[in-house]
Chains A and B, each alone.
Chain A
């Protein structure tokens, strides 16, 4: 065993010193099985991936996602700059709101995706993926010529704890924290300075990566362990669990959410990746010209696939209709909810709404699958 197809989680830690979050010792205390995720030593699972997955769908789960980046853009030209960087008209956000968007290169291809928050009139906060922090900082700096802005990387000072699942409002209620609406954030008093805000506040963000009601608590590292322990204590009463990156991956897959670097890697436009809602062509931004071309003639599109059995389609596996190769898989797992194999990937756009079955080649077999929207249920 163990020479086969890997998923998002390689078996062994890479050589070298792994990066660790402020919650590393908490994971060890819980006997988590750790894994290497883009150089970060992160919990893969505390008990079993499927149990953690179901806890989030039914009750509540907490996740350490502190490996994610934390970047501030501020200054007189911040509004102009974010509108230029993103295909979304970011300056239309109100203070207290956030949105999902992506960094595009000059070809309109997605470099990375992010949530971006409007903190103040001329101050934005964004969260690049762990593997891309440096790349994004460089990208922002490279494109900032002529703009009066500052780009500040706070990734080493900030922790993120995601609380996800239908019981999230009750859990927050026990800590006297108000539940924000989706894609809004609220501020709560804490004992330490949050360098993102230069105030003693935690950000309570109505966002997540599970498709459930939930929040992400964005906090200074100093309070991460005590907040984590408090949450652990509270969620016990709601049949909640700490959840690792394994469950995070299966949860996002069931809901058809893209994983940067795996479902796209500077090779897909937002139209191809089925996130056209982030594109507003009525303003100037990097990649706009290519997107105008791409809008009417893109050939492949991101879809979901529901398999007829528990075979797992892995990244790179080919999709067939009759004898024709029509696409390929980028993410796959077994869905604990649908109780069958699921995949995400790209197919020829002509098949986007097809009800005819397709076949995914898994080793030497062709496994029947139904095409679906990326959000599988």
Chain B
């Protein structure tokens, strides 16, 4: 069983995000980090990059595979979690505390799954 905090928004591609004052904070779900196994590297976007919904936002390398993380929102990357450059395994340890990027929203046109919907979606 994986952890799915109630207050967050989720995607079918296993990202989570929360929106506060026009800024989305984005990470990957507990289910996603479990599937990936040991995360060893995160190929980060650059602050200033424009991302549309469904664009590849960044790539996570684990011992097992490399997986793309998709943008759940439209906007501009304004911050990346620098701590993860040195210690990407923090995402394995707590994927919700350790967000990966922040995006300043262009609009509010995002879709999402609620925690309950996401839980059903991954079959837990």
What is A's interface to B at a CB cutoff of 8 Å? 1-7, 9, 11, 33, 44-45, 48-50, 246, 250, 309-312, 314, 333-334, 341, 363, 365
Contacts and interface: CB of A to CB of B under 8 A. Distances in A.
A333 B14 contact: no
B63 A333 contact: yes
B116 interface: no
A45 B92 CA distance: 15
A161 to B, nearest CB: 23
B67 A334 contact: no
A70 B14 CA distance: 42
A250 B63 contact: yes
Contact of A246 (B34, B59, B60, B63): B63
A6 B61 contact: no
A5 B66 CA distance: 6
Contact of A4 (B15, B38, B68): B68
Contacts of A33: 34, 37
Which 10 pairs of residues, A with B, have the shortest CB-CB distance? A310-B41, A334-B40, A1-B67, A4-B67, A49-B63, A312-B61, A1-B14, A5-B66, A310-B40, A4-B66
Contact of B68 (A1, A49, A309, A311): A1
A149 to B, nearest CB: 42
A4 B63 contact: no
Interface string B37-76: 1101101000000000000000111011111111000000
B13 interface: yes
A309 B41 contact: yes
Contact of A7 (B15, B64, B70, B88): B64
Contacts of B14: 1-2
A1 B32 CA distance: 8
A246 B63 CA distance: 8
B38 A312 contact: no
Nearest to A314: B66
B41 A4 contact: no
Contacts of A341: 41
A45 B35 CA distance: 11
A6 B37 CA distance: 13
